[in-house]
């Protein structure tokens, strides 16, 4: 057995990085292989090119909810990360139809669940977890394509861009399950039950896109607006204040426009509609943006598969996939979609990492 070989973690999203951090803390040698040229996976906090002074803006996740999410709340404290509450003071707008002005609503006190943001964006969490790892633990631009268990139990991986195969004492896979089913070949083959189990775990938010409009100040607050909008007109269905804790202003929106329509229209036309909507809702100042950032997750093959273009109708049934027995626990699945609780969220990604590490250590 390759007992002296590292545990290989596939994927350097929050789940993979936390898994590596927990193993390292227990003195277990590990290595993280990541397909993209960056760490973070669905976490993506971007600066405006040539204006880093404006701050970092989240194009993936934004919040955590301390009331329900104890694991991330504890980790944030442990890592000493700075956070602030989502801004929601002032009036909310409701856009019912294109032919009438948006209606204004007073948000009832205490009606909104407290959601918390990171100073510097969620990337601050990713960077802090990655900083707990020994140099050289993470290998970027390494897309795993196959995982093979030999007759004697040894495990080897193949990856694009790597000539030699990589030996592992065990493998922890932290990718969205559908991406595993589509992109990784297993020898021996996964059982039909396991494949079905993977395909039946749609990737959380993979059908979504985010647009973030950046301004030199949050001007809507000056006229008593919270930045919160609910729209039946679109293309953005939900808009929120995404300003950093101080200085610049920003509004971000989730799309009501389906992934297929966005892909057919193309980025330029989609963003033109976004600017029209923001101007309709917040007045001419909204057109005067410093930047308009955009990320469509549905067309990113490291997150989404074609089936993910369909919006989710119900909350999916997440949890670890079933049917891995033939691998003798040499392969463990983590990643937010495999969490028993808070699957889909950052919290789920962390909980899945804890479960995977305890399963490995129990072997
Ligand atoms: C638009 C959007 C908004 C969201 N908002 C929130 C929010 O506000 N709060 C919240 O809690 N959650 C939110 N989420 C969900 C949150 O982003 C995820 O729960 C979390 O980031 C998942 O982490 P993960 O490590 O499980 O998976 P991922 O971040 O998807 O990590 C998987 C990693 O595997 C890599 N990979 C893929 N294929 C391979 C391969 N073959 N070989 C090697 N590496 C590979 C990927 O590049 C990626 O880095 C949001 C997500 C999106 C997209």
Q: Give residue 3's pLDDT.
A: 59
The predicted-structure confidence for 309-362, as pLDDT tens digits, reads as follows 888 888 888 999 987 776 777 899 999 999 999 999 999 999 999 999 999 988
What's the mean pLDDT in 110-125?
Answer: 91
Check pocket membership of 203 for ligand 1, CB cut-off 6 A. Answer: no
The predicted-structure confidence for 144-158, as pLDDT tens digits, reads as follows 999 999 877 789 999
Please state the atom number of ligand 1 nearest to the C-alpha of residue 297: 53
What's the mean pLDDT in 70-89?
Answer: 97
H or E stretch covering 166? strand 166-168
**What whole-number distance in Å separates Cα of residue 286 and Cα of residue 299?**
27
Check pocket membership of 7 for ligand 1, CB cut-off 6 A. Answer: no
- With cut-offs at 50, 70 and 90, classify the pLDDT of residue 197: very high
Is the per-residue pLDDT at 107 higher than 90? no
Check pocket membership of 297 for ligand 1, CB cut-off 6 A. Answer: yes
- With cut-offs at 50, 70 and 90, classify the pLDDT of residue 102: very high
What's the mean pLDDT in 177-182?
Answer: 97
Give the E-state strand segments of the chain in sequence order: 7-10, 30-33, 45-48, 51-58, 83-85, 91-95, 103-106, 116-118, 138-139, 143-149, 155-160, 166-168, 170-173, 185-187, 209-215, 225-231, 236-241, 249-255, 291-296, 331-333
Check pocket membership of 175 for ligand 1, CB cut-off 6 A. Answer: yes
Q: Backbone phi, then psi, for 181, in 5-degree steps?
A: -60, -35
Q: 3-state DSSP: the chain helix, strand, coil percent, rounded to 5?
A: 30, 25, 45
Is the per-residue pLDDT at 1 higher than 50? no
What is the C-alpha radius of gyration for the chain, rounded to an integer number of angstroms?
22
Calculate the average pLDDT of the chain: 94
Tokens 């590990």 found at: 30
Q: Give residue 2's pLDDT.
A: 45
**What whole-number distance in Å separates Cα of residue 183 and Cα of residue 257?**
28
DSSP string across 288-332: --SEEEEEEGGG-TTT--GGGGSPPSS----S--S--GGGTTSEE
Q: Backbone phi, then psi, for 344, in 5-degree steps?
A: 105, -35
Burial of 234 (0-12, 13-18, 19+ CB in 10 A): middle
The predicted-structure confidence for 259-304, as pLDDT tens digits, reads as follows 999 999 999 999 999 999 999 999 999 999 999 999 999 999 999 9
Check pocket membership of 34 for ligand 1, CB cut-off 6 A. Answer: yes
Percent of the chain with pLDDT over 70: 98
Is the per-residue pLDDT at 74 higher than 50? yes
218 HSE (CA, 13 A, CB side): 23
The predicted-structure confidence for 338-348, as pLDDT tens digits, reads as follows 999 999 999 99
What's the mean pLDDT in 4-14?
Answer: 95
Pairing assessment for the beta strands 170-173 and 225-231 based on DSSP bridges = unpaired
- With cut-offs at 50, 70 and 90, classify the pLDDT of residue 363: low
257 SS3 class: coil
- With cut-offs at 50, 70 and 90, classify the pLDDT of residue 248: very high
Q: Which residue has the CA at smallest separation from atom 34 of ligand 1?
A: 11
């Amino acid at each position: 057995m390759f007992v002296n070989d590292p545990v290989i973690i596939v994927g350097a999203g929050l789940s993979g990085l936390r898994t590596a951090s927990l193993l390292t803390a227990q003195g277990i040698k590990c290595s993280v292989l990541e397909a993209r040229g960056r760490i973070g996976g669905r976490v993506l906090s971007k600066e405006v090119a040539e204006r880093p002074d404006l701050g970092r803006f989240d194009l993936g996740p934004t919040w955590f909810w301390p009331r329900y999410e104890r694991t991330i709340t504890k980790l944030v404290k442990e890592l000493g990360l700075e956070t602030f509450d989502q801004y929601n003071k002032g009036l909310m707008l409701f856009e019912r139809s294109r032919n009438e002005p948006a209606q204004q609503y007073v948000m009832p006190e205490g009606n909104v669940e407290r959601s918390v943001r990171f100073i510097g964006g969620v990337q601050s969490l990713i960077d802090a977890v990655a900083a707990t790892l020994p140099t050289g633990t993470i290998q970027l631009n390494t897309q795993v394509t196959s995982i093979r268990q030999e007759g004697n139990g040894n495990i080897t991986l193949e990856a694009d861009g790597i000539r030699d195969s990589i030996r592992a004492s065990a493998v922890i896979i932290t990718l969205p399950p559908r991406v595993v089913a589509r992109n990784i070949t297993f020898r021996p083959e996964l059982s039909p039950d396991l494949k079905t189990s993977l395909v039946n775990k749609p990737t959380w938010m993979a059908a979504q896109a985010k647009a973030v409009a950046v301004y030199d100040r949050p001007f809507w607050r000056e006229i008593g607006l919270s930045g919160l909008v609910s729209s039946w007109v679109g293309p953005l269905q939900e808009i929120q204040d995404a300003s950093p804790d101080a200085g610049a202003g920003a509004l971000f929106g989730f799309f009501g426009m389906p992934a297929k329509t966005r892909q057919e229209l193309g980025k330029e036309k989609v963003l033109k509609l976004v600017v029209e909507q923001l101007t309709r809702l917040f007045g001419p100042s909204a057109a005067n943006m410093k930047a308009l950032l955009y990320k469509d997750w549905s067309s990113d093959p490291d997150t989404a598969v074609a089936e993910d273009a369909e919006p989710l109708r119900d909350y999916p049934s997440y949890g670890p996939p079933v049917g891995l027995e033939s691998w003798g626990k040499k392969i463990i699945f983590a990643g937010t979609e495999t969490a028993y609780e808070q699957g889909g969220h950052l919290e789920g990604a962390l909980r899945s990492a804890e479960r995977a590490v305890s399963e490995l250590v129990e072997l």
